[in-house]
Amino acid sequence: MSFISKPTIIHKSQKRNGLGLTVRDYEGVSSTLCAGCGHDSVTAALVQSFWELDIPAQQVAKMSGIGCSSKTTSYFLSAAHGVNSVHGRMPSVTTGANAARRDLTFIGISGDGDSLSIGLGQFAHAIRRNLDMLYVIENNGVYGLTKGQFSASADLGSQTKKGEANLQPPIDPVKAGLAMGASFIGRAFSGDKNQLVPLIKAGLRHKGFALLDVLSPCVTFNDHENSTKSYAHTREFYHPAIHTDFVPPSKEILVDYEQGEVMEVKLHDGSSVRLRKVARDYDPTDRGSAFSYLMDARKRGEIVTGLLYIDPKGGDMHKRSGTAQKPLGRMDHAELCPGSATLKELQKAYR
Amino acid sequence: MSQINDFVIKLANVNGTGSASANGLVMKTIFRMGVPVVGKNIFPSNIQGLPTWFEIRLSRQGYLARSGEVDVMVAMNAQTFERDLNEVSPGGVLIYDSTWPRERDITRTDVTVLGIPLARMCNETFANPRSRILMKNMAYVGALVALLDLDMSILHGLIEEQFATKKKLIGANVQAVELGLDYARKNFKCPLASRVEPMDKTAGHIMIDGNTAAALGCVYAGATVGAWYPITPSTSLMDAFRSFAELTRIDPETGEKNFCIIQAEDELAAVGMAIGANWAGARSFTPTSGPGVSLMSEFLGFAYYAEIPLVLFNIQRAGPSTGMPTRTQQSDLTLCAYASHGDTRHVLLIPDDPGECFDMAVQAFDLSDRLQTPVMVLSDLDIGMNDWMVPELSWDDNYRPDRGKVLDDEGLAKMDKFYRYLDSDKDGITYRTYPGGDPKGAYFVRGSSHNKYGAYTESSAEYQEVLDRLLLKWDTAKTLVPDPVIRISGESSTVAIVTMGSCAAACREANHKLAAKGIHLDYMRVRAFPFNEMVEEFLEKHDHIIVVEQNRDAQLRSLLLTETRVAKNKLHSILHYDGQPLDYRSVVTGVEKFLSQGELA
């Protein structure tokens, strides 16, 4: 349980980030997930990403719903506030929290059940508002806590441990995100940290809704031979279409890429993502071509990964509604109350 | 009995024909003439074509309930003509559009019938088909000016105010009023026995609906985040919040808004947003109605258990299910008191008029922050959407919001370690922090079982300890919620009326009418749940308690039985649940019937 505390001895040789903190300072309580769970790798990648970005933990709000994935928000950034809300409703709680504190960095951790079944409506509407957050779906095609039922992302024909075949076509969060207008869409595999970390970092820095679908196998209920969300299947069929590097504004390092293959996209804070295309015909700034590439790859049985779509220009919820820069939750009553004279004036219309 | 300034006008219209604004002008004119008025809009859940009524009661004594009678009926709806005619009290007056002959249908001889060819006059005067429909309303307003002796200059002023931004419409409207006025003066003996004489009893008062007043309360309480999903009859609350916020909360230089209104995808999301914003330190609210509360129930349990403030306005309408969306009721009391699964209970505030909607909106935010729990304001359609005459709202500039037990960085610095759910003051209320502050104050909110340190637990003892502490907090709530309003008749009565919310006006008038007949009843209006010691004492002191409420299942009576020490055989019911605002006659009749049954022997 989360009462098990980790030893906090930090060796002198541990590397420190720009805030003088070690990677250990970004950890949370011990995970209670199954040994080998893909989610724990995502947690580790998150810890590393926050550390590398020099983000003070207390400037982060960790949001989640219900499920194995949603439990993981206590396994990183102990010094950050967190809300483990109700099933499928993390987007609404995050929307409200973001409305109050636009200065914080919001990370939401969800799963395929939490986002694609019970929470599909809220997931869609958070996208529609271009809520400024990184939304991670730890996707394993299965309900773990209730012991192995298919989720809405399970592939057609994929089998349960007992051999029962899934008869419903899957909802692919990436295609759903593309269709609903998400401004940043990536897919990664929990087993490939080198790919995952830059995607998380870029997603955190993206101003707007960053969707990251992470294939994260369930070792207990969905890692067998006839599963399409197993480690083995994912390793065999995952296909990086785009290699992503995240370049912070202060650390301009020229990466050794061949000319013509690299596309640089500037983010709002001056950082940028450098996208190295593996597939020649892929354009991650064109929603339509991204969609058709995904459809074609799907026919070949490939799971396309990388930063698949980005539009850094769309305004987030606050920009669209013209909210004050100062966070609403930090305003004094004096800034908000019009006072007795105004009340008298306003009431003239009711005489 | 003289009917000057003491009668009811009912206007029967077809909805979508512009009658609402014409009827509003009549009521406002009477109000500005200094005569207390009560306006009740009985409208359909429809956009155009169904019957709608507007009732205006003049009460020189200042009563604010319906009387249950009609003295002057303006019957503009062919569809409902017969029943409208039947509703007129003997000796009353019926005004109708005589463009189409109605002689066959006019079967009553005890009613004065006045036919005015409204459609014909308007068709002859106005060319545009839409204005012909709209101006028909203004023409009967004109007839009422003559028949009721309304002050034309006041009406004229109101028309100018109403069309201040569309000045070219003023002329046509005044012309239509004159058509009706001239016809009435030429053809009838004006004014009628039911007529208006100027008084001075509305000075210092306004005509406002509860949703508008509650929205003003939200602005003054410092609410910044409003999340909602449209639902009748609560929608106008957020509309009003938006317009007041746009008037008072936009920086004139930068155009930046000190508020954020989010129209959610459904009520589940709306309440989730309000909870998220409150958790993050803003004051946030959601207005809704019964069906919305049903959907919000899961989140209400979460906010109760995770101890997150939340202000919810439930503008009740007639249920169950979709019910009658445009009719009033008080049938969500049980739902709101215990909304959500598991052992949950919620603080409720129950206003009786728009004035109290304003005050209680502010109070709701203070209580919710203080108690770190949802507070629901139980208004209803009658209060929320009808214009009520209330004393002008006032504001104390010395008011400072009570944000409750919140630790800032300075407070945290004085502590060794911060635990979110540790009851150091032994009042059941623990300290919280906002995100974005000192990492020492970081904590993890969960709806799953947690111990007093905020950590996940499956230990029975640790789990139960927190659940019991929430009950201690409930006891603290009893000391903080508003007291009931109690009126003792002075005649050492052992019989009392107990009521809540929008029943108050009818009960007050019934009390007066009964006292005139020698029946003296004490009176208590509960204003909050949990019930405090004053409620207990009042119940204890009386042998027979008649609970007046607007629902079928006697929900207030049940709640009193469950949550106080009162004996079951002491409580009796007067129940009104037809969807119309309660009238005082129903209460008088109910009490008399009860007394005549000899149960008081």
Residue A122 sits in a domain whose CATH number is 3.40.50.970
Q: Would you call A2 an interface residue with chain B, using a CB distance cutoff of 8 Å?
A: yes
> Residue B320: is the preceding peptide bond cis (ω within 30°)?
yes
Cα A232 from Cα A226, distance rounded (Å): 10
CB contact under 8 A, A58 and B439: yes
Q: Tell me which chain A residue has its CA closest to the CA of residue B398.
A: A339
Tokens encoding A182 = 């998400």
CB contact under 8 A, B447 and A84: yes
Determine the average pLDDT of the residues in A82-108.
Answer: 98
Q: Would you call A78 an interface residue with chain B, using a CB distance cutoff of 8 Å?
A: yes
CB contact under 8 A, B282 and A342: no
Nearest-neighbour CA in chain B from A217: distance (Å)? 25
Nearest-neighbour CA in chain A from B19: distance (Å)? 19
Cα A17 from Cα B36, distance rounded (Å): 72
**Residues above pLDDT 70, as percent of chain B:** 99
CB contact under 8 A, B272 and A93: yes
Write the pLDDT tens digit of every residue in B2-53: 589 999 999 999 998 889 999 999 999 999 999 999 999 999 988 888 999 9
Residue A56 in any domain: the answer is yes
Residue A253 in any domain: the answer is yes
State the CB neighbour count (10 A cutoff) for residue B408: 12
The radius of gyration computed from the CA coordinates of chain A, to the nearest angstrom, equals: 21
CB contact under 8 A, B393 and A121: no
The ranges of chain B with pLDDT < 70 are 1-2, 598-601
Residue A188 in any domain: the answer is yes
Q: Where are the alpha helices (DSSP H) in B322-394?
A: 333-337, 354-371, 381-385
Cα of A351 vs its chain's centroid, Å: 53
Give bridge partners of residue A344 from the DSSP assignment. none
Residue A310 in any domain: the answer is yes
Chain B residues with beta carbon closer than 8 angstroms to that of A127: none
CB contact under 8 A, B447 and A86: yes
Write the pLDDT tens digit of every residue in B507-534: 999 999 999 999 999 999 999 999 999 9
Residue A351 in any domain: the answer is no
Cross-chain CB nearest to A329 (options B257, B280, B448): B280
Residue A288 in any domain: the answer is yes
Phi (first) and psi of residue B121, to 5 degrees: -60, -40
CB contact under 8 A, B435 and A80: yes
Per-residue burial over B248-266, b = 16 or more CB atoms within 10 Å of its CB, e = otherwise? bbbeeeeeebbbbbbebbb
What does B130-189 look like in DSSP terms, one character per residue? HHHHHHHHHHHHHHHHHHHT--HHHHHHHHHHHTTT-THHHHHHHHHHHHHHHHHHHHS-
Tokens encoding A73 = 């928000």
Nearest-neighbour CA in chain B from A206: distance (Å)? 20
Mutation target vs A (from B250, B262, B362; most A CBs, 10 A cutoff): B262
pLDDT, residue A266, reads 81
Predicted confidence (pLDDT) at residue A253 exceeds the cutoff of 50: no
**Residues above pLDDT 70, as percent of chain A:** 92
Chain A residues with beta carbon closer than 8 angstroms to that of B264: 92, 125
Chain A residues with beta carbon closer than 8 angstroms to that of B244: 346
Residue A116 in any domain: the answer is yes
Predicted confidence (pLDDT) at residue A242 exceeds the cutoff of 80: no
pTM over 0.80: yes
Phi (first) and psi of residue A135, to 5 degrees: -110, 110
For chain B, the average pLDDT equals 96
Q: Categorize the per-residue pLDDT at A54 as very low, low, confident or very high, splitting at 50, 70 and 90.
A: very high
Residue A128 in any domain: the answer is yes
For the four alpha carbons of A157, A163, A167 and A170, in that order, the dihedral sign comes to negative
Domains identified in chain A, total number: 1
Cα A258 from Cα A277, distance rounded (Å): 11
Q: Which of A225-239, A259-273, A306-320, B380-394 has the highest mean pLDDT?
A: B380-394
| Domains of chain B, earliest start first | 6-187 (3.40.920.10), 213-391 (3.40.50.970), 409-480 (no CATH), 485-596 (3.40.50.920)
- List the domain range (segments joined by +) for residue A181: 23-334
Question: Which 3 state secondary structure label does DSSP give A33?
Answer: coil
Tokens encoding A150 = 């298919």
A residues 269-328 lying closer than 8 A (beta carbon) to B:
317-318, 321-325, 327-328
Nearest-neighbour CA in chain B from A26: distance (Å)? 12
Predicted confidence (pLDDT) at residue A288 exceeds the cutoff of 70: yes
- Complex ipTM, two decimals? 0.96
